[in-house]
Amino acid sequence: MDHLLSMKQLSKPDISGLLKRAGELKAGAPPALNRGYTVSNLFFEPSTRTKTSFEMAERKLGLSTLPFEAGFSSSLKGETLYDTVKTLEAIGLDALVIRHPDDRYYDGLAGRTSVSLINGGDGSGQHPTQSLLDLFTMQEEFGALEGLKVTIAGDVAHSRVAKSDRDALELFGADVRYLCPAEWRGDFDAADDWEDVLGDSDVIMLLRVQHERHGGGADFSHEAYHERYGLTEERAARMKKGAVIMHPAPVNRGVEIADSLVEDPRSRIFRQVENGVYIRMAVLESILKGRD
């Protein structure tokens, strides 16, 4: 694989192979890279988990990481993303991890650069490594993905996580359901009431309310949203035995999920963060080995 831009480009065997390798790396297997590589993380949107997770993965693989700060780059002077990538290609980088506010920013890059590209999130489009770590966490929990009932609740229309997870989970035969206000459904067939999905869900995945993408105004009430669409303590008490809680984070405590549930014994939120390091190691290793 030369690039990882979207979950749509991965086959079921591709995904299974990455999940398997992530499991091996988590169990302590050594990296399988034949030489040193240099990568850089180009984040044009704020990020804590994804950026630092890639940085830790790069360190664990023994890669050289060239610092890049979007706020001090020539993009502020009008340089295009393409020219930034071509500059880093000329310097000698092997791979770039890019997060960008534009949907499908990579359409103008793939095929026009020799640098390998990994999509760290594009606008409201895709977030492939987040989806892979979600699948890895579910597989670790349940042993298999086929037949799992996964409910994704929140701002699905603007969520790259919801889109990426839909593509991947349906490929593996999971039953994926959605819950959100009507105005946030987009092209998803979503329920409007927890009673339609709560009782038989194996996984409840909460999503952050993305005010920055839909201009959430002053009329939005955190309390009203939590009461209607959030995972409250009362709803959590009615979850199926063995069901788990997930969230790609950052978490708005008391909005999409009750504060007390973030670190509940059923929560796998911080396990997702941990697993992200091993998934990103597996992705980087696969792409860089392919360059040889």
Structure tokens at 45: 């949107």
| 84 known ligand binder | no
- Please check if 240 is assigned to a binding site: no
* Residue 50 labelled as part of a binding site: yes
149 is in an annotated binding site: no
Is 139 annotated as ligand-binding? no
- Among candidates 254, 248, 258, 154, which has minimal Cα distance to 210? 154
Instruction: Specify the residue for token string 């969230």.
Output: 247
Q: Which amino acid is at 205?
A: M
User: Which of 190, 198, 51 shows the shortest CA–CA distance to 130?
Assistant: 51
Closest Cα to residue 3, out of 134, 84, 104, 139? 104
Q: Residue holding tokens 């199926």? A: 240
Q: Residue 77, annotated ligand binder?
A: yes
160 labelled as ligand-binding? Answer: yes
99 appears as a binding residue in the annotation: yes
Say whether 49 counts as a known binding-site residue. yes
Q: Is 253 annotated as a binding residue?
A: no
> Where in 125-268 does DSSP place strands (E)?
149-153, 175-179, 203-206, 244-246
**Residue 278 DSSP one-character state:** H
Helices of type H across the chain: 12-26, 49-60, 81-91, 128-142, 160-171, 211-214, 222-229, 233-236, 269-291
Annotated binding site for L-aspartate: 77, 160, 208
Annotation: binding site: 49-50, 77, 99, 127, 130, 160, 208, 249-250
Q: Can you say which residues are annotated as belonging to the binding site for carbamoyl phosphate? A: 49-50, 99, 127, 130, 249-250
